[in-house]
Amino acid sequence: MHLRQGGEVVTISSDLERLPPQAVTVLRYLATRGNEEVSIADIMWVTGLSNIGIGKGIRPLVTRRYATMTQPGYYMLTPAGREAARGLVETEQALSEPPAQTQRPERVHVRRLSAFTPCELSLDTPSSLQVGFDPPDQGQPPLPGPWLLMLRLQADGCNVSPESHLLDLQPQGVSGPVRFRVIPQAAGKQRFRLEVLEVGTGGISRLLGGMYFDLNVAEFPTPACAEFQALGADIGLPLEGAE
C-alpha cells in the first residue's frame, strides 16, 4: 500500500497491514526491549491487553516469525521482527508528521522525576517510597506558574497507600517529595509503575510520562532493605497553550 504525505510516497508493508491491532501493539512494545526476552505478564501489564487480546497479539507474530518463544511464557523479536518494527515506526512517523514547511518546534519544559527507594523490600513489611521533582536545568523554557500534577504508583501484588498524590510542580526549586507506603505480598521481583498525570479543571487531562522500576522482595529483612537508591526519568511538559 502506498500513501502520499508531504509530497513523498510512504510504503506500508502489506504483511504489516494484515496484522491485527493487538499484534501491532505487541510488536511495537517488544521492539523497545531489543534482544531481551519478555514475559507474557510484562507484555500484558505494559500494553493493557486482556487474556484474549494477548493471544491475538502474540500468535500472528510467531506465525510470521516476527517473534519467537525463548522459554515457556517468554518472547522476543527475531531479526525479521525487529526490521518489521523499525519499518512500522518509520511509517507511522512519516504519516503523523505535517509537511516540513508547516512544522514549528514544540516548547517543552523538562523536569527530572526522582524516586528514592529502598534497594530491597521485605515481604509483608511496610516501606516508604519518596517521589519528587528536581529543580529545572539551566536553559529550560520557564513554566508560566505552578503546574498541578498527579503522581500515581501502581504495583500488582503489592499494597500501595495512597494510590496517588497531588503535587504542585513549582517553576523553580525542588517540588515534593510525596511518600507512598508499600507492603509487598509476594517474594521475588516486584514491578512498580509510576505515572505523572496533568490535572486540569475537569480532572485528569493527560498522561505526561513516568517510569517503571523493579525491586527485589526478600522473604526476610536484609541489609539491603536499609539501603536506599535514587531512580529517575525526564518528564516533558508541553508549554503550548499553557500560558
The predicted pLDDT at position 1 comes to: 40
Q: CA–CA separation, 61 vs 107, rounded Å?
A: 38
Full pLDDT tens readout for the chain, 243 residues? 433 434 333 334 456 667 788 888 888 888 888 888 999 888 888 888 888 888 888 998 999 888 999 998 899 999 888 888 887 766 655 545 555 554 555 688 999 999 999 999 999 999 999 999 999 988 888 898 999 999 999 998 899 999 999 999 999 999 999 999 999 999 999 999 999 999 887 776 788 888 889 999 999 999 999 999 999 989 988 887 554
Domains and CATH numbers, the chain: 2-101 (1.10.10.10), 108-238 (2.60.40.10)
The predicted pLDDT at position 6 comes to: 40
Q: CA–CA separation, 156 vs 179, rounded Å?
A: 18
pTM over 0.95: no
C-alpha cell at 133: 521533582
C-alpha cell at 152: 500515581
Q: Lay out the sheet containing 175-184: strands in order across.
A: 158-161, 175-184, 127-133, 108-118, 228-238
C-alpha cell at 124: 509483608
- Pairing relation of β-strands 2-5 and 8-11? antiparallel
The predicted pLDDT at position 172 comes to: 92
The predicted pLDDT at position 168 comes to: 94
Return phi, psi of residue 225, to 5°: -65, -20
219: number of Cβ within 10 Å: 11
User: Do the beta carbons of residue 142 and residue 109 sit within 8 Å?
Assistant: yes
User: Do the beta carbons of residue 180 and residue 167 sit within 8 Å?
Assistant: no
The predicted pLDDT at position 221 comes to: 94
Q: CA–CA separation, 137 vs 205, rounded Å?
A: 26
**Three-class SS state of 195:** strand
Ramachandran sector of residue 81 (left: φ over 0; alpha: ψ -120 to 50; beta: rest): alpha
